[in-house]
Amino acid sequence: MAQYLILIYADERDWSALSPEESAAVYAQYEAFGTRNAAAIRGGSELSPTTTATSIRSDEDGAYLVTDGPFVETKEALGGYYLIDVESLDEAIAVAKQVPVGAGGVEVRPLVEHGA
Amino acid sequence: MPGSAVRDALAEAHRHEWAFVLAAAVRVTRDLDLAEECVQDAYAKAVVAWSEQGVPARPGAWLTTAARNRAVDLIRRESIARRSLPLLIVESAASIGHDLDEDIFGDDRLRLIFTCCHPTLSAPARVALTLRLVCGVTTAEIARSFLVSDPTMAARITRAKKKIAAAHIPYRIPAADELPARTDAVLDVIHQLFTTGHTAPTGAQLVRNDLTTQALDLARMLRALLPGNREVIGLLALILLSVARADERLAPDGTLKLLADQDRTRWDAGAIAEGTALVRESLRDGPPGRYALLAAINAVHDEAPAWEDTDWPQIVGLYDHLLRIWPTPVVELNRAVAIRFAYGPAAGLVALDRLADDPRLATYPYLAATRADCFRDLGRHTEARPLYEQAILLTGNDVERAFLKERLQQLSR
């Protein structure tokens, strides 16, 4: 078995523009996705918007620079993730295709395995 | 120094057995690099063993056994170190160290091909990996074929292999519902190899016989492995019917020889007979696919006793059909060329007008060249001139450029 992170990218403005009914409908889709793929899913969550993010970087003196916001401004931002455990990339893609991401997209990244 | 019989047998085994031997070794190693090492070792051992004991009755089986024995050996020795490496997902675990019977492993070439042509690999990586692993072409040779440096090609192949291992691209034949799309991806790779070889996009040579030969071998292999697939049959037919004319495409002085000027008695009659029989097979039992139609178009050319006998209206009809299932500007351009010969240059120009502003053809030399030809045939040389000049700028192939310059010079001032 192999583990993958499914990274969900979407436009945050689209998400925040939804009415309560519309966002409830999207949550229902995600819930259905979670139920359908429960055997593969090991974890996951929606992330709060990038406006709530804090970036931390250390300089060469070892001092930390803590700033508000993400490192880069892009149209599509990481909005959530799933950790899945499946047989191979083909199965991971089959699960990722079902993520109800709408106009956004998902990225599938294998986790590095250290030892067995 | 091996004798000529051994050298021939090795060359033959390299061309026809490489994929078989490697695929069998992968079953044991579950690691592409290690499997390649074992196959190279088996071929090296064969040079010595065959020279001393003669060429075995079944060279492929001999090489497979040698490669697998080497693999079992290496794995036993390295078993502790290997535990930390991501291994290929092989459908059923190989029974390492047990009776290495042929039947346990069977023919794994399809698994190897589908892995090399997996859609999550980049298109150039799929082509390179297929040449390296399925055809056994060296990285240096692949780099030369695609006019990139050795380190660039080596990096491309290494990156692809790493992705296969780290992302767990499975080493298996796709499930039934995925099989058609995945087979199309394999056919794409073979077709791309063939078209790159048929008219090299850049460089001094018009045809790269090494690539067309690899494409033909791959199409034959796929035909044997997926016998019922009509598009596989269509692609094999297309390659055969094009290769049949390959030697006549260049004049002895190295200049381009048009279809109209070729000596048809020098075309390869055997390849044409095999190709046309396959076209018929690919067109039976259902709507034709794109390769079957492309092959049928080539069959019409190959079966015409002379250029004047070419059945252009039938070719237009075949392109009409092709355009419906494969609506690309290049297909539309080729259809316009057929219209030019079927119904005259004025009709050809009308068909080409629709494409004149298509951005997807903006850098495609054949659009300008074809429009130039139509204007030339109509005696409108002032309109033809800038179009030939444009085509000369756009083509990267030296032979084609020389031909277009000749055409330009022939225009009246």
Distance from CA of B89 to the nearest CA of A (A): 7
Q: What is the structure's pLDDT at B101? A: 43
| pTM for the predicted model, two decimal places | 0.83
Residue A13 has pLDDT above 90, yes or no: no
Whether the ipTM is more than 0.90: the answer is no
Query: CB neighbours of B343 closer than 8 A, spacing ≥ 6?
Result: none
Q: What is the structure's pLDDT at B99? A: 41
Provide the pLDDT confidence category of residue A103 given band limits of 50, 70 and 90. Answer: confident
Taking CA atoms, B33 is separated from B36, B88, B386, B388, in Å, by 5, 11, 52, 49
Q: What is the structure's pLDDT at B311? A: 97
Whether residue A107 lies within 8 A of chain B, CB to CB, comes out as no
Which residues, numbered 93 to 152 in chain B, qualify as contacts with chain A under a Cβ-Cβ cut-off of 8 Å?
A: 118, 120
Which of the pair, A74 or B18, is modelled with greater confidence?
A: B18
Q: Select the residue from A89, A93, A109, A114 to test the B interface by mutation, using most B Cβ atoms within 10 A.
A: A89
DSSP output for B150-178: HHHHHHHHHHHHHHHHHTT--BSPPPTTT
What residues in A contact B178, CB-CB < 8 Å?
90
**Calpha distance A60→B389 (Å, rounded):** 58
For A112, name the nearest residue in chain B, comparing CA atoms only: B166
Q: What is the structure's pLDDT at A61? A: 83
Task: Report whether B400 contacts B199 (CB < 8 A).
Answer: yes
Residue among B118, B120, B168 minimizing CB distance to A2: B168
**Calpha distance A94→A88 (Å, rounded):** 10
Task: Report whether B212 contacts B268 (CB < 8 A).
Answer: no
Work out the angle at residue B144's Cα, subtended by the Cα atoms of residues B262 and B163, and round it to the nearest 5 degrees: 120
Residue ranges of chain B whose pLDDT lies below 70: 1, 79-87, 89-107, 200-204, 206-207, 413
The 10 Å CB-count burial string (b at 16+, else e) for B314-346 is ebbbbbebbeeeeeeeebbbbbbbbbbbbeebe
Residue A17 has pLDDT above 70, yes or no: yes
User: Mean pLDDT over residues A79-107, rounded?
Assistant: 94
Which residue, among B78, B117, B100, B77, has the nearest Cα to B27 in the 3D structure?
A: B100
Cβ distance of B170 and A110 shorter than 8 Å = no
**Calpha distance B200→B203 (Å, rounded):** 7
Which of the pair, B205 or A96, is modelled with greater confidence?
A: A96
For B85, name the nearest residue in chain A, comparing CA atoms only: A115
Which residue, among B180, B136, B162, has the nearest Cα to B12 in the 3D structure?
A: B136
3-state SS assignment for residue B397:
strand
Q: What is the structure's pLDDT at A73? A: 66
Backbone angles phi, psi at B113, to 5 degrees: -65, -45
Least confident among A66-70, A75-79, B367-371:
A66-70
Task: Report whether A18 contacts A26 (CB < 8 A).
Answer: yes
Q: Kindly tell me the burial class for residue B311, based on how many C-beta atoms sit within 10 Å of its own C-beta (0-12, 13-18, 19 or more).
A: middle
DSSP output for B192-259: HHHHHHHS-SEES-S--HHHHHHHHHHHHHHHHHSTT-HHHHHHHHHHHHHHTTGGGSB-TTS-B--G
For B167, name the nearest residue in chain A, comparing CA atoms only: A110
**Calpha distance A94→A10 (Å, rounded):** 19
